[in-house]
Amino acid sequence: MSGVYISYPFCAQKCTYCNFASGVFPRALEEDYLEALEQEISSWSWEWTPETVYIGGGTPSRMKPETLERILGKIPGRPWKEATIEAAPGGITAELASAWRESGITRVSLGVQSFVRTEIARTGRKHSAEQVALELDLLASAGIRNVNIDLIAGLSGQTPESWDESLRWIERLRPAHVSVYMLEIDEDSRLGQEILLNGERYGAPDVPSEERTAEFYETAVERLHRIGIERYEISNFAVPGFESRHNLKYWRLEPYVGFGADAHSFDGGLRWQNVETVKEYVGRWRRGEPVRGEASPADETGERFFVGLRLMAGIRPRPEERLRFDVPIKRFLDEGLLEEEDGVLRLTSRGVLLSNEVFQEFVTV
């Protein structure tokens, strides 16, 4: 069954760690974007009925309820098996939660990142741990109990004590799903740029080492396991039965279609991507030009390893895959980055921490 991704790349502020194609834009540009987005969805030829919808960003929780309803009303299949909206803590009200539920939203992904006030402030966010707890109650009262909480290991100023505080809040709140990401240091975020330049803005000198960040991650794996929140993908943990149906489509190479700027699509054989920036997306719409890029064939074998090994369930190689990847498979088994049981390959605990190195081999072989 297929899924739908909707890109809403607008935020109230740009977080220091963010490396997505999102940001703060003029209101008029946002209005044009939403009109273009609605037109793109309306013009899609639905040859199948989606079972999941995911609205990501950006901060789509900023969208007016009537706008969200108008957009979702263009997608067949409601009520879907799962419909997720990403949200920034601090802006959820009882009225908003009820409107989401009435529009078909069944799951909310909260970008908490940290429950520690000093760490939150350094990211550019303004919420408090108490606000997150209150908003979880508001969502539950509206009938939305399937909530994901994002955490980032490696934020500026993070210490074993502050990481413990964030994990204790998770233990207290018991969400159905938790995502734990290790801070990415690259030139696509303001914090990443500052670290690469050896600068001092955004708390760059206080970012933990890679080794300490890995320790935070491994502590989270253990603590979440204790309360029944199990790791099913490198960065994703869930109470059994509450795994993200939509995101599993990416890792299982199931079809999905994306709408909006920088949205990706996969039909089972071909991949394509919409133009990346909001400005170009709106500009092409105004000129009557396609916003979708050229489709290219997917490398099913390479991709199956690349995404399949992200899942803790692992992957059972086909005979032709064994032949193609024989050398890297044997090397990673010898190095303790992969393990094999009954013909199924999985990343080891050490392999998870070095997963990019492993994946690179299967993409390039």
**Contact between 11 and 59 (Cβ < 8 Å):** yes
pLDDT tens sequence across 139-180: 999 999 999 999 999 999 999 999 999 999 999 999 999 999
As a whole number, the mean pLDDT across the chain is 92
pLDDT band for position 300 (50/70/90)?
Answer: confident
Q: 31 Cβ partners below 8 Å, 6+ apart?
A: none
Domains and CATH numbers, the chain: 3-251 (3.80.30.20), 300-364 (1.10.10)
pLDDT tens sequence across 217-267: 999 999 999 999 999 999 999 999 999 999 999 999 999 999 999 999 999
| The pLDDT of residue 73 is above 60 | yes
- DSSP code, position 184: P
Helices marked H in 263-310? 278-287, 300-308
Share of the chain above pLDDT 90, in %: 80
| The pLDDT of residue 38 is above 70 | yes
Q: Helix 94-103 crosses helix 65-72 at what angle (to 10 degrees)?
A: 10
Q: Give the pLDDT confidence score for residue 299 in this predicted structure.
A: 82
Q: What is the mean pLDDT of residues 13-18?
A: 64
Q: Which stretches does DSSP call E strand in 94-157?
A: 107-113, 146-153
| The pLDDT of residue 347 is above 70 | yes
Q: Give the pLDDT confidence score for residue 201 in this predicted structure.
A: 76
pLDDT band for position 24 (50/70/90)?
Answer: low
* CA 127 – CA 136 distance, rounded (Å): 13
Q: 294 Cβ partners below 8 Å, 6+ apart?
A: 272
Tokens found for residue 356 = 């990019």
What letter represents residue 268's amino acid? G
Task: Label the pairing between strands 3-8 and 52-57.
Answer: parallel
Tokens found for residue 42 = 């309306």
* CA 241 – CA 222 distance, rounded (Å): 19
- DSSP code, position 311: B
Q: Give the pLDDT confidence score for residue 153 in this predicted structure.
A: 97
| The pLDDT of residue 365 is above 60 | no
Q: Select from 73, 64, 69, 84 the least CA-distant residue to 42.
A: 73
Helix (H, G, I), strand (E, B), or coil: what is residue 177?
strand
Q: Give the pLDDT confidence score for residue 197 in this predicted structure.
A: 67
Helix (H, G, I), strand (E, B), or coil: what is residue 230?
strand
Model-wide pTM > 0.75 = yes
**Contact between 352 and 333 (Cβ < 8 Å):** no
Q: What is the mean pLDDT of residues 97-109?
A: 98
Tokens found for residue 10 = 């607008």
pLDDT band for position 289 (50/70/90)?
Answer: very high
**Contact between 35 and 82 (Cβ < 8 Å):** no
Q: Which stretches does DSSP call E strand in 28-144?
A: 52-57, 82-87, 107-113
Farthest CA pair distance, the chain: 57
pLDDT tens sequence across 169-218: 999 999 999 999 998 776 666 676 777 867 767 677 678 999 999 999 99
